[in-house]
Every structure is written in C-alpha cells, then in structure tokens.
Amino acid sequence: MDHDEVLALFDDRIRRNAQPDGPGVRIERAGAVGAGHVAGAGHAAGRARPAVGSVVRQVGAASGWNGVLWSDLDEAGADAVIEAQVRHFSDLGLEFEWKAYSHDRPADLGERLLAAGFTPGPDEALMIARIEDLPVDAALPDGVRLQPVTDQAGVDLMMEAHEQAFGTDLPGLRERMLDHLRHGTDTVSMVVAMAGDRPVSAARMELNPGTGFAGLWGGGTVPGWRGRGIYRALVAHRARLAADLGYQYLQVDASDESRPILQRLGFAWVSTTTPYVYRPSA
C-alpha cells in the first residue's frame, strides 16, 4: 500500500467530500476555491471533484458531532478563516471541534487554533489498512460471544461497556446511535462482546458509501478483560463485514494503547490527528 496515495484518497473522499454522518446533519463548504482532482487508485482514479471550500464543516444538533473536517489554508488567511468558524458555530450556540491533521496547512495550524481559544485533546494516530491485507478471523476467549446491536437494549449494553472501558459517560454518542436505529440508516454497524450477560467490550463501524473507506470506532474493553484478544476479534469482525460490502480500506483514529495492536494486524500510521475543541462562552 502506497502511504502517500492512500492518505490523498482519504483526504479527498472522507474529508474534502465528506458525507453527513447521521440524520439531521448537513455538510457545509465555506470559501470556494475551485475544483479538485485526485489521480489516485480505485474507482475515484482521475475523477474530477466539484468545487470545494477552504473549510468543510459538519453542522447538526447539539448532541451530535459538530466541527471542521477539512481545511486548506495559507498563512496569510488562516487566522481570518479560523475566526469565521468560531463566529459561525458560536452564533449557532454550538460547541465544535476542529479536527486537525499533522499534514494540514499551514504547518502551525495547531498553534493558531490554540491562540484562538481552542483546547486540544490527545493526539491520535491516523491508521489505514487495505482490508485484503487484514486477518478477518480471530479467536475470542472462552465464554465470550459477539452480539450485533440492533435495538435500544443493545445500545445500552454498548454504552455500558464504553463507560467502563473509557471511564466516562457518553450521552451524545448514545443519542446518535439511537438516531441511526430510529431512522433505519445502514451506515453504522455496532457490536458488543458479551461474557454471559455482562458486556465486556463494544465497537462500531461507520460506512462511507461510494468512498471505499469504512471507519472503526470504539473498540474499548473493560478492565479485567484486556489482553485476551477481544479487541483483535472486534477488528477482524468488522473487517469481514466491510469486505463483504465491497469496501477497500479501514481507517482508525488510534490511541497509544491500540496503535501497536493495529500495526501488528497490518495497519499503517499515515498521519496524526488532534481534536481542537472550542466552547462558546455563555
């Protein structure tokens, strides 16, 4: 896999030409700069893109994810564009995230976001793998089974596992997953690992139709069950589903804990992403 080529495809298909990630969500482009073109591999090779903006952002409900997905800024205009996004989301009364990547321009984008009042979160490794290079079978520990999440009870089990694994309550995520179930969308696949009647791990896969990319999210395992191969089994399970649906690539924003596991499975570290969050003042 050519790392530069697949990163260019990711930027083009997932960021510049982003799709709404749920019901009631819209994608907006600000400051059109003309048409884009990527001469990469796959079905997008040589395909001209519509006009895009210097900023691509997602806007939805307060319980959803709001933020900047892609930007292409120069040093002279970067601060003005950042200020415009702060004003836009503040006028809507929305907290938002600027999802910055280490290869984004300008090189000091992170410093500019800090100066504008954003708060950075932990760095994560952007990791991508070709699905055909990944194992699609992995053994679960004795007594553990994978259970698809298809109703509210399943979402509750998934959130219970996440809260124990990550040590935090995630009401916004719960509401987003319930929205997908209510609207019958088929772009999210959720699964929970059960040991008897106890959820011990959970994960989801977000599908991006027409892009060749599916994203792996969650994958948290509760203390006491880590190191037994459950995380690897969840990756293999989702890789198999994505392959059956015709997807070519899996993408993960990996923490320091999951990055070594993913590298051993065949994922490549192609960039680093940092969430910069802006919270409007009262």
Per-residue pLDDT tens over the stretch 77-127: 999 999 999 999 999 999 999 999 999 999 999 999 999 999 999 999 999
Higher pLDDT pick, 37 / 186: 186
- CATH number 3.40.630 is the correct assignment for the domain at 3-123+273-278: yes
On whether the CB atoms of residues 119 and 246 are closer than 8 A, the answer is no
| Extents of the domains making up the chain | 3-123+273-278, 135-265
Q: Render pLDDT for 185-238 as a digit per residue (tens, 0 to 9).
A: 789 999 999 999 999 999 999 999 999 999 999 989 999 999 999 999 999 999
Question: Peptide bond preceding 106: is omega within 30 degrees of 0, i.e. cis?
Answer: yes
pLDDT at 38: 38
Residue 53 pLDDT: 46
Split at pLDDT 50, 70, 90, the class of 21 is: confident
Task: Report d(CA 244, CA 48) in Å as an integer.
Answer: 28
Assigned CATH for 135-265: 3.40.630.30
Q: Which residues of 44-74 are buried (b: 16+ CB within 10 A; e: fewer)?
A: beeeeeeebbbbbbbbbbeebbbbbbbbbbe
Please give the structure tokens belonging to residue 271.
């960039």
**Packing angle of the helix pair 152-166, 171-183 (nearest 10 deg):** 160
Q: What phi and psi values does residue 244 have, to the nearest 5 degrees?
A: -65, -25
% of the chain exceeding 90 in pLDDT: 79
In the predicted structure, residue 176 carries a pLDDT above the cut 80? yes
pLDDT on residue 23: 85
Domains 3-123+273-278 and 135-265 share a fold: yes
Altogether, the residues listed in the chain come to a count of 282
Locate 106 and state its tokens.
């300008």
